[in-house]
């Protein structure tokens, strides 16, 4: 599967794209920006510095449907978060201006938090992750009508309960794990481990919007006289409707102990019996999901390390 399309966007093509939404701007430069795993991200800057640059996000053809998903999720969060998300100015799947699907959106203030982290003081880092925890809570105030992965126009396969959703998802991912060469013995151990804990899924009765990838690479921040402030949240390609603890577990997956404490402090009380055990089961799910994704995109050098993590997570 080809990700992050290596597509050269000329100034003339960028000008044609911009003119679909505004007519009073002249494109000066088009430059590649740091982005996520899937899409290619370009900055379109203008000759008049009074006009803020715009962002062009181009999707690989195999995952072209994620363009419409981004539009759908952006609509769900509009005006409901304290941290801005980009405004989508144009979503184009016509292949008329570019041979791939793309969106044109506003550029937010700040730099990627992931690029800032190594130079932050412990206090700034704690502040950043407390804000991330509060942002997660805001996502989880957005109710969804069912449980399931969000597709181009809504939930793809809707499940009436979290238990139904997860007892569907785990076998599905384990089947993919086996199909892509994972150990049958390990798959069986994981299945048994999850079956013993499946009752935990019943403790969530209301699906909420989950970003499902809220890490430092998908957040923008600035540092000023009043300290570090989150200024943007991006990349909604993995969003789902599910248990809020599932989103918390995914966010914690990337963090050390200090950042974990800061995020949980910002998030607030986890008002759920057995929340720690539930987070552990979701952690296992995300390692399994990550193994399958790395196998799908050909990053086989990661598979042994992730398999060892799967063994550790399912050993208890």
| 103-125 pLDDT per residue, tens | 999 999 999 999 999 999 999 99
Q: What would the mean pLDDT of 3-10 be, rounded to a whole number?
A: 78
Do 125 and 77 sit in the same domain of this protein?
no
Do 198 and 292 sit in the same domain of this protein?
yes
User: Is residue 283, in this structure, part of any structural domain at all?
Assistant: yes
Do 154 and 221 sit in the same domain of this protein?
yes
Do 202 and 222 sit in the same domain of this protein?
yes
Identify the domain boundary among 54, 81, 106. 106
Domain harbouring 267, CATH code:
3.90.1200.10
Do 117 and 28 sit in the same domain of this protein?
no
**In angstroms, rounded to a whole number, what is the distance separating the alpha carbons of residues 70 and 88?**
9
Where helices occur in 268-302 by DSSP H, the ranges are 275-296
Q: What would the mean pLDDT of 1-25 be, rounded to a whole number?
A: 87
Instruction: Dump pLDDT digits (tens) for 48-90.
Output: 999 999 999 999 888 888 999 999 999 999 999 999 999 999 9
Burial (CB count <10 Å: 0-12, 13-18, 19+), residue 79: exposed
User: Is residue 2, in this structure, part of any structural domain at all?
Assistant: no
User: Is residue 183, in this structure, part of any structural domain at all?
Assistant: yes
Do 65 and 127 sit in the same domain of this protein?
no
Do 119 and 263 sit in the same domain of this protein?
yes
For the chain, report the end-to-end CA distance as a whole number of angstroms: 35
Identify the domain boundary among 43, 74, 106. 106
User: Is residue 149, in this structure, part of any structural domain at all?
Assistant: yes
Identify the domain boundary among 90, 106, 122. 106
What is the pairing mode between strands 208-210 and 219-224?
unpaired
Instruction: Dump pLDDT digits (tens) for 235-275.
Output: 999 999 999 999 999 999 989 999 999 999 999 999 899 99
Do 93 and 119 sit in the same domain of this protein?
no
Do 274 and 235 sit in the same domain of this protein?
yes
In which domain, by residue range, is 15 found?
11-106
User: Is residue 4, in this structure, part of any structural domain at all?
Assistant: no
Q: How many domains does the chain have?
A: 2
Domain harbouring 86, CATH code:
3.30.200.20
For 235-265, letters b (16+ CB in 10 Å) and e give bbbbbbbbbbbbbbbbbbbebeeebbebbbe
What is the pairing mode between strands 111-112 and 148-149?
unpaired
pTM for the model = 0.94
User: Higher pLDDT residue, 308 or 6?
Assistant: 308
CB 83 within 8 A of CB 93: no
User: Is residue 5, in this structure, part of any structural domain at all?
Assistant: no
Instruction: Dump pLDDT digits (tens) for 152-209.
Output: 999 999 999 999 999 999 999 999 999 999 999 999 999 999 999 999 999 999 999 9
Q: At 34, is the pLDDT very low, low, confident or very high (cuts 50, 70, 90)?
A: confident
Rounded to 5°, the CA angle 11-16-17 comes to 95
Residue 19: per-residue pLDDT: 97
């Amino acid at each position: 599967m080809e990700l992050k399309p290596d597509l050269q966007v000329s100034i003339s093509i960028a000008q044609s794209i911009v003119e679909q939404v505004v007519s009073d701007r002249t494109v000066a430069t088009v430059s590649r920006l740091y982005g996520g795993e899937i899409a290619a991200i370009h900055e379109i800057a203008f000759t008049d510095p009074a006009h803020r640059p715009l962002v062009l996000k181009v999707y690989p053809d195999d995952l072209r449907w994620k363009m419409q998903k981004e539009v759908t999720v952006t609509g769900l969060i509009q005006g409901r978060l304290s941290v801005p998300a980009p405004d989508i100015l144009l979503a184009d799947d016509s292949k008329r201006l570019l041979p791939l699907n793309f969106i044109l959106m506003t550029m937010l203030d700040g730099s990627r938090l992931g690029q800032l982290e190594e130079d932050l003081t412990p206090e700034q880092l704690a502040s950043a992750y407390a804000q991330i925890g509060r942002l997660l809570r805001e996502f989880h105030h957005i109710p969804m009508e069912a449980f399931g992965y969000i597709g181009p126009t809504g939930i793809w396969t809707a499940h009436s309960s979290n238990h139904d959703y997860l007892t569907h998802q785990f076998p599905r991912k384990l089947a993919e794990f086996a199909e892509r060469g994972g150990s049958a013995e390990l798959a069986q151990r994981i299945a048994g481990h999850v079956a013993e804990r499946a009752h935990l899924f019943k403790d969530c009765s209301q699906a909420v919007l989950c970003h499902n990838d809220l890490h430092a690479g998908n957040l923008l921040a600035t540092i000023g006289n009043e300290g570090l402030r989150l200024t943007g949240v991006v990349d909604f390609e993995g969003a789902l409707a599910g248990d809020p603890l599932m989103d918390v577990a995914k966010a914690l997956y990337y963090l050390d102990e200090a950042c974990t404490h800061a995020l949980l402090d910002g998030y607030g009380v986890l008002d759920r019996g057995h929340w720690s055990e539930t987070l552990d089961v979701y952690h296992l799910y995300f390692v399994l999901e990550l193994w399958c994704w790395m196998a799908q995109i050909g990053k086989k050098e990661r598979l042994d390390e992730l398999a060892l993590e799967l063994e550790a997570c399912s050993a208890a």
